[in-house]
Structure 1
């Protein structure tokens, strides 16, 4: 395998000073738990821990070298690179790799659907050349430069996810990625605790267009409340083309028909007078709409839409974002687990409830607090009550302070259980689940709904 970085290249990219013997790295890592032999270990200084404390562990685990902010952090004679600031050094690696590669680069942002879009595009584009995509949800101030720094030289398509919870964050990330195609999946009331309102969220998402490669393409949701604002921002950017997708008659890629079931949907859409059809094995109306955006991105990259549509059936859900698992519990009951435990906001919560509504069996909703909603938290949680009723939920297991406001609004036909934490909710859920239940688990990451998923999985067999 050819080297991803040599000591000389990394020194030029970062302005750093090599230490010890010369080295070649096949990857880049910031966490010793995920480090592979041959990686360059970057010792980032975080809020809760300093990566310099793990340099010795990284080298012992087979790291090719360590990027540090102090030569004293390197064991005597160890291969390394000394820089003024390791985060800035990581950004330097990312900028140089982005400039050097000939890849066509896609950047994705939105209030929901970013990670699924990234994974879906990685699958779709893989049929047309080597793809490099952000790992996990590496979409923040360290995840984006890390993803860029890891991009192989022969990459044909780079797909990067950009997240934010404050204004200006996407602007800084997009400047590093400099996309040829920028996709906004949707704008919804997420992170309201950090913004004066939803319009401010839309303007923050629009920052992705400011660094578009001159003549590039912006792909936007035509049906969104803030479509006009996004379109205005796109027209003021350096984009050469704007593509919209959705149900609206004016959408460039317009949904004509969908036929959904418990497992997915058959989709029919029109672009420039031509009709395209595909099967999507991700259930939910929101996924149908999302798939239009993915196809629009592929077409913006110059790919044949029919060939891309033919790969739609290969797209699979991402862990914690719609994976479905059949579990046999210790008492003999078999349940279907819908794992949406990674994160939540009102829009994604409603989308998950739509998926639950399509399933066959008693519908159980296990929901944790949606965080970062500020003063709107109580009303947005309580506002989910009609959606649970419409989904046919028969039992609701809720945890967290904000979910208490939903508990008090649910119809008497829904059995309601509430606990302060997911850990306290788990034993009650384990005792009361019945054979044939369909169990949706969803909440913000800080609500720790993964505790529920892992607890049910540990007690049952896949």
Structure 2
């Protein structure tokens, strides 16, 4: 028998007809309605010239204050294979009338050409972590053929960019979608067209723009509008907005799967106990089976997140075993729970302190969840550096003052408050009757990240301390984390 026969007879797959490059000049020009100048292939798509790597396609986007055309030369210098521009340039390019519109068109072409199962993720809290966990599970079970939006690329630029980067050979795609105004998710979900749409939770983030928690729920529910025929909507059973979300999903004539502790939840938590080394050991009922798995990330919120992950992976046709392994291996993301051991003197003599980086975002729900986790973190002293929560509008003073209760309940020893919006919390913590809820922490109220670092230095970090840094990204507490992280153990 000819030894080559088995190779020659190997069945031809759909993917075998696809090009190895992410895009070529003809495909891009056809997708965006532009004119190709030169023949080329690209292996990536980028909008920031500083992040361009050899083989990328650079989109010269034009914003209110910046014109990407100015950075075309820089993109080529970094190895861009071609650029998308609205004016001719020297070098391989696609000429279009509007580069932002062209990016959206390329994204839609990427979505149209793929046979991948698509998962869309939104919610007031936990979007990025849940997206990363779903991706890790699907990537493991598909042996590296899953795609996702990186970082928090979840807006009107990040979503089409993430879609345009999706390889035609992908078996799964996982996309995060964010919003702070009504109607934004409608536009994004129309591009993503998910088979599975996940809402992690509903909380008063962006309430300044939307006015009420009900309006926030309605805006998040827009993700269901883009669901493909036969799609699945995954919603939090424990949310006060459950009925509202379920009704919105059912209007789209899709299946609804709920997750949580509630008796009626389709993916229901049966038990969760602390796991050795941190995290939780979770037992859940999926209706036709029970599963047990470990969640490496600490906190009650991650127990709920894990249920959403399991529901999404199952709905997408993924492997639940791979999902369990992914959750057991998840590490905190930069700005969203990453934990770093830093050097510290004195204290318990360990010469080590724990830095918890939650500096990327903050709203009332995530603040409470993170402070609760700080409260159960073993530590000689607990220190919280808390930045202002943005986009709360007239509700802001009350929401900030209400953080006194979880701070006291967590047994925090020292609080560094950053931003003018934190004044109501400083006032609340300073009241004489606040000590009835727990020990009263010492307080430093600062203007900015630099002042916060100075306040920490004055207070003095010691061995055995646990330091939480959390605030809205615009407060800039990432600088505090970066400075403290330099003191690595």
Q: TM-score range by the shorter chain?
A: over 0.9
Q: Give the aligned partner of residue 478 of structure 2.
A: 450
Question: What SS does structure 1 have at the residue aligned with 2:428?
Answer: coil
Question: What SS does structure 2 have at the residue aligned with 1:278?
Answer: strand
Out of 234, 240, 245, the position equivalent to 1:225 is 240
Cα 1:392–1:207 shift into 2, 3 Å = same
1:237 equivalent to 2:252? Answer yes
Query: Structure 2: where are the runs of 5+ without partners?
Result: 1-18
How far has the Cα of 1:247 moved from its partner? Answer: 0.3
1:95 equivalent to 2:108? Answer yes
Question: What SS does structure 2 have at the residue aligned with 1:141?
Answer: coil
What is the 5 A alignment of 1:39-118?
39-71=56-88, 74-75=89-90, 78-118=91-131
CA distance in 1, matches of 2:257, 2:136: 21
CA distance in 2, matches of 1:80, 1:273: 54
Can you list the C-alpha shifts for 1:219-238, whole angstroms capped at 9, x where unaligned? 00000111100000010014
Out of 156, 177, 181, the position equivalent to 2:171 is 156
CA contact (8 A) 2:134 2:323 kept: no
- TM-score calculated relative to the size of structure 1: 0.96
Question: What SS does structure 2 have at the residue aligned with 1:127?
Answer: helix
CA contact (8 A) 2:344 2:462 kept: no
Can you list the C-alpha shifts for 1:240-287, whole angstroms capped at 9, x where unaligned? x21000000000011011113672111111111421111111000000
CA distance in 2, matches of 1:55, 1:305: 45
Q: Give the aligned partner of residue 383 of structure 1.
A: 402
Question: What SS does structure 1 have at the residue aligned with 2:284?
Answer: strand
1:433 equivalent to 2:451? Answer no
Can you list the C-alpha shifts for 1:75-131, whole angstroms capped at 9, x where unaligned? 3xx110111111110011110110101110000000010110111111111222111
Question: What SS does structure 2 have at the residue aligned with 1:122?
Answer: helix
CA contact (8 A) 2:138 2:319 kept: no
Out of 200, 212, 225, the position equivalent to 1:210 is 225
CA distance in 2, matches of 1:24, 1:311: 34
How far has the Cα of 1:334 moved from its partner? Answer: 2.1
CA RMSD of aligned residues (A): 1.4
Out of 374, 386, 393, the position equivalent to 1:374 is 393
Cα 1:390–1:132 shift into 2, 3 Å = same
Out of 341, 344, 348, the position equivalent to 2:366 is 348
CA contact (8 A) 2:137 2:322 kept: no
Q: Give the aligned partner of residue 120 of structure 1.
A: 133
CA distance in 1, matches of 2:410, 2:344: 24
- TM-score calculated relative to the size of structure 2: 0.91
Can you list the C-alpha shifts for 1:358-411, whole angstroms capped at 9, x where unaligned? 211111111000001111111000011111111111111111011111111114
Out of 451, 464, 472, the position equivalent to 1:424 is 451
Q: Give the aligned partner of residue 36 of structure 2.
A: 18
Q: Which runs of 4+ in 1 moved over 6 A?
A: none
CA distance in 2, matches of 1:320, 1:252: 32
Q: Give the aligned partner of residue 268 of structure 2.
A: 254
What is the 5 A alignment of 1:298-337?
298-329=313-344, 333-337=351-355
Q: Give the aligned partner of residue 6 of structure 2.
A: none
CA distance in 2, matches of 1:380, 1:94: 39
Question: What SS does structure 1 have at the residue aligned with 2:222?
Answer: helix
Question: What SS does structure 2 have at the residue aligned with 1:266?
Answer: strand
Can you list the C-alpha shifts for 1:26-79, whole angstroms capped at 9, x where unaligned? 1100011111111000001123311111011101111011101122xx13xx11
1:28 equivalent to 2:45? Answer yes
CA distance in 2, matches of 1:298, 1:131: 12
CA distance in 1, matches of 2:395, 2:209: 11
Aligned length: 455
Q: Give the aligned partner of residue 9 of structure 1.
A: 27
How far has the Cα of 1:316 moved from its partner? Answer: 2.0
CA distance in 2, matches of 1:424, 1:382: 21
Query: Structure 1: where are the runs of 5+ without partners?
Result: none
Out of 427, 448, 453, the position equivalent to 1:408 is 427
CA contact (8 A) 1:134 1:159 kept: yes
Q: Which moved more, 1:171-180 or 1:410-419?
A: 410-419
Greater gyration radius: 2
CA contact (8 A) 2:136 2:323 kept: no
